């Protein structure tokens, strides 16, 4: 596959923005610097190159967001600060002792009902003021099921409002009995399970707090969830130097043994709270892992497996839909802009920064608007420092990445550096997805 950079130009009031051209066997994909893309055959490409595109081609380019004319805007501009996704730190209790955990869980405190109610009221009042009707809510911990009564309280609270709330819960699943699975399903909560591969891999990375193996209890919890959720049970697998070489074994286990239809492989980042250090993959290992993952996903699809992986799916949607659906990888880190979190005292943070007091945006009790909080925070909080390297200046994936995960910089006390793990992921996955699009094979 060949890559070429196309420069923009103007023709009267028509402005072609330029972009990155990927070509293979006479087919072309043009990716704009704004994340928009268009498939081209040779005649259309020649029309663009000529600098004199026909009126029909001009219309197509404008429709695809790759060009503009006065008064024609293809994408509705949202407010820069528009909180749509909320994280509540329900409890710091956890019954696992994962080797890479990034949280400071020396406290085992659970949020009080008084503060929890105040947070929920704050969310509702904010949404009413901003005319927001739909939000996402992450029930966080620790292990959130150790605060099941708080979850029940949240569900009951929102049922009495007109707000449409999608609730997400990531659990280690070890506590999921059939009764709890039924409750979660009845409450309409989307459940994901943290599971790092086959039993041996899981037990190596995710032990019980008691030191006992966890795989058997987790599998039992998954089976209980599947009695109610059916195929709508997926989860996250954290990839470290211990399990990254076992791509096929992990996929085999997820697809054929556990009958899962969705998982997301999260590449671990080092952090000072982790029980073990040096778990991060280097760039060659990331490229190797991504290649193996994409190869095996394609092979399993050809065998009839109905399975998708989150990193691949979200990036394919970035290319094909430009829907900006991910707060993390669709248009840079949206922590503080679209996503905030609440600690157990009602303080507000960007993303998952509750263990970093210096990154506080404000408090539900301060009376400040979101814009006032963010204006002050962006001047002083290191979380919001811009991230860019020289390679970013000509990177086709910059619109989606914007330097990667800001939280990871804070864990490592780094300022202004790009997230090298995310960068390698993008450079490994996006070109392969574009090749599949040009070949006409499903992503």
Cα distances from 304 to residues 160, 248, 317, in angstroms, run: 44, 16, 22
For residue range 94-150, list pLDDT tens digits in order.
999 999 998 876 678 999 999 999 999 999 999 999 999 999 999 999 999 999 999
Please report the pLDDT score of residue 73 as a whole number: 66
pTM of the predicted model as reported, rounded to 2 decimal places:
0.93
Please report the pLDDT score of residue 212 as a whole number: 97
198 φ/ψ angles, rounded to the nearest 5 degrees: -60, 165
DSSP three-state, residue 162: coil
Q: What is the mean pLDDT of the chain?
A: 94
| Helix pair 178-186, 148-159: axis angle to 10 deg | 20
Please report the pLDDT score of residue 18 as a whole number: 97
Q: Give the residue, 443 or 243, on which the prediction is more confident.
A: 243
Please report the pLDDT score of residue 108 as a whole number: 83
For residue range 298-336, list pLDDT tens digits in order.
999 999 999 999 999 999 999 998 766 788 888 999 999
Q: Answer yes or no: is pLDDT of 443 > 60.
A: no
Please report the pLDDT score of residue 74 as a whole number: 64
C-alpha span between 403 and 423 (Å, rounded): 8
Bridge partner residues of 38 (DSSP):
30
- Which of 188, 177, 185, 115 minimizes the C-alpha distance to 150? 115
C-alpha span between 314 and 404 (Å, rounded): 15
Q: Give the residue, 307 or 409, on which the prediction is more confident.
A: 307
What would the mean pLDDT of 411-438 be, rounded to a whole number?
Answer: 93
Q: Answer yes or no: is pLDDT of 431 > 60.
A: yes
Please report the pLDDT score of residue 442 as a whole number: 59
C-alpha span between 115 and 422 (Å, rounded): 35
Least confident of 211-215, 313-317, 319-323, 439-443: 439-443
What would the mean pLDDT of 213-224 be, rounded to a whole number?
Answer: 98
What would the mean pLDDT of 197-209 be, rounded to a whole number?
Answer: 97
* Residue entry with tokens 């609270």: 157
What is residue 330's DSSP assignment? S
Q: Answer yes or no: is pLDDT of 421 > 80.
A: yes
What would the mean pLDDT of 371-376 be, rounded to a whole number?
Answer: 97
* Cβ proximity of 129 and 356 under 8 Å: no
Question: Hey, what are 304's tokens?
Answer: 């009839």
Report the relative pairing of strands 134-140 and 85-89 from DSSP bridges.
Answer: parallel
What would the mean pLDDT of 44-51 be, rounded to a whole number?
Answer: 96
Please report the pLDDT score of residue 408 as a whole number: 85
For residue range 1-45, list pLDDT tens digits in order.
999 999 999 999 999 999 999 999 889 999 999 999 999 999 999
Please report the pLDDT score of residue 277 as a whole number: 84
Cα distances from 14 to residues 8, 30, 35, 69, 233, in angstroms, run: 11, 18, 19, 5, 48
Q: Answer yes or no: is pLDDT of 166 > 90.
A: yes
Least confident of 54-63, 118-127, 214-223, 315-324: 315-324
DSSP 109-125: -B--HHHHHHHHHHHHH
Per-residue b/e over 233-253, b at no fewer than 16 CB within 10 Å? bbbbbbbbebbbebbeebbbb
Report the relative pairing of strands 27-31 and 37-40 from DSSP bridges.
Answer: antiparallel
* % pLDDT > 90, the chain: 87
Q: Give the residue, 105 or 290, on which the prediction is more confident.
A: 290
- Which of 124, 137, 133, 135 minimizes the C-alpha distance to 87? 137
* Cβ proximity of 281 and 239 under 8 Å: yes
DSSP E strand stretches across 244-393 = 262-267, 308-309, 339-342, 347-350, 362-363
C-alpha span between 14 and 34 (Å, rounded): 17
């Amino acid at each position: 596959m060949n890559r070429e950079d196309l420069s923009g130009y103007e023709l009267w009031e028509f402005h072609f923005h330029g972009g990155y051209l990927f070509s293979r066997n006479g087919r072309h994909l043009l990716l704009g610097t704004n994340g928009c893309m268009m498939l081209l055959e040779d005649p259309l490409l020649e029309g663009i190159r000529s600098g004199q595109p026909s009126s029909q081609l001009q219309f197509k380019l404008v429709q695809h967001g790759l060009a503009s004319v006065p008064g024609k805007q293809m994408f509705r501009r949202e407010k820069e600060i528009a909180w749509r996704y909320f994280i509540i730190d329900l409890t710091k209790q956890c019954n696992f002792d994962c080797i890479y955990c990034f949280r400071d869980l020396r406290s085992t405190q659970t949020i009080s009902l008084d503060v929890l109610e105040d947070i929920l009221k704050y969310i509702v009042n904010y949404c009413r003021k901003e005319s927001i009707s739909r939000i996402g809510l992450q029930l966080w911990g620790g292990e959130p099921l150790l605060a099941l009564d708080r979850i029940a309280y949240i569900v009951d609270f929102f049922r009495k409002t007109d707000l449409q709330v999608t609730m997400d819960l990531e659990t280690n699943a070890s506590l999921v009995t059939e009764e709890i699975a039924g409750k979660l399903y009845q409450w309409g909560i989307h459940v994901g399970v943290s599971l790092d591969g086959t039993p041996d891999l899981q037990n190596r990375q995710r032990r019980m707090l008691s030191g006992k193996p966890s795989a058997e209890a987790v599998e039992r919890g998954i089976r209980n969830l599947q009695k109610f959720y059916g195929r709508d049970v997926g989860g996250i697998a954290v990839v470290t130097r211990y399990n990254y070489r076992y791509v096929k074994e992990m996929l085999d286990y997820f697809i054929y043994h556990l009958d899962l239809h969705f998982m997301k492989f999260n590449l671990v980042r080092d952090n000072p709270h982790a029980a073990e250090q040096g778990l991060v993959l280097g760039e060659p290992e990331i490229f190797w892992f991504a290649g193996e993952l994409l190869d095996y996903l394609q092979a399993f699809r050809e065998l009839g497996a109905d399975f998708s992986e989150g990193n691949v799916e979200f990036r394919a949607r970035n290319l094909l839909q430009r829907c900006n659906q991910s707060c993390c990888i669709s248009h840079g880190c949206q922590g503080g802009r679209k996503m905030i979190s609440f600690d157990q005292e009602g303080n507000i943070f960007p993303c998952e920064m509750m263990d970093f007091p210096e990154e506080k945006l404000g408090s539900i009790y301060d009376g400040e608007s979101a814009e006032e909080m963010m204006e002050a925070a962006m001047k002083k909080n290191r979380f919001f420092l811009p991230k860019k390297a020289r390679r970013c200046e000509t990177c086709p994936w910059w619109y989606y990445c914007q330097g990667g995960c800001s939280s990871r910089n804070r864990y490592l006390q780094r300022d202004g550096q790009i997230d090298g793990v995310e960068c390698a992921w993008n450079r490994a996955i996006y070109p392969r997805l574009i090749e599949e699009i040009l070949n006409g094979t499903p992503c």
